[in-house]
Structure 1
């Protein structure tokens, strides 16, 4: 294995540990909405950037649209997941910026859709789903 992948692999393991903690916490407390966001993109199937980006986007959406459903402890865990995921995919958050940035996430999804050749339907769905 190349040394390049070792830090990424450890970061993915840390993300997975945090997701397990959140999964157990949300199952115990029966918080269905945050659990649905998590189960939409977890468990991770590898350490490629598309899978990790999907998790970061889902957790960012959770922070943005369902912030009232999260305790301070849960918010900290979610922000740590987002930070670790952004480190892997090479996106950095501006200093002092909130973790959930809906417009930035939307445009990142559109860029990924362009690469996959799915621009019209994917972009239209994103524009209709959330606020700008």
Structure 2
């Protein structure tokens, strides 16, 4: 059986690779505004929660305040970076927002259950979307 919930280190490495792809793409296309947002918080200096939260917040600002600067493909990658970073940090996604890989329902249930002091209610259907 495949482990769909990646350990923290692997998730951070995935975030770093996605940011590297965005960096290369935005450099090639000379997209200065998105590149400025990315370089404000990347490359990650470590796996500390503060750096990862800053990345999630900055990419969230980019997608919220400069949506016209991103193509559809870039928006999807940016949302995946945001969702993965927030999952690593433990920050719940904003209400109504879905993680790029479909695991937001799982993480919302786990977060709410932990806040209420209950055991998380995880269904098999939460894992059917597949890996990142």
Matches within 5 A, 1:1-132: 7-94=7-94, 96-97=96-97
**What do the CA deviations read for 1:104-129 (whole angstroms, capped 9, x no partner)?**
xxxxxxxxxxxxxxxxxxxxxxxxxx
Runs of 5+ in structure 2 lacking a partner?
Answer: 1-5, 100-132
Q: What is the TM-score when the length of structure 2 is the normalising length?
A: 0.67
- Across the aligned residues of Structure 1 and Structure 2, the Cα RMSD in angstroms comes to 1.7
Query: Which structure has more helix as a fraction of its residues?
Result: 1
Q: 1:96 Cα shift? A: 2.5
| Displacement after TM superposition at 1:97 (Å) | 2.7
Runs (4+) of structure 1 exceeding 3 A deviation are none
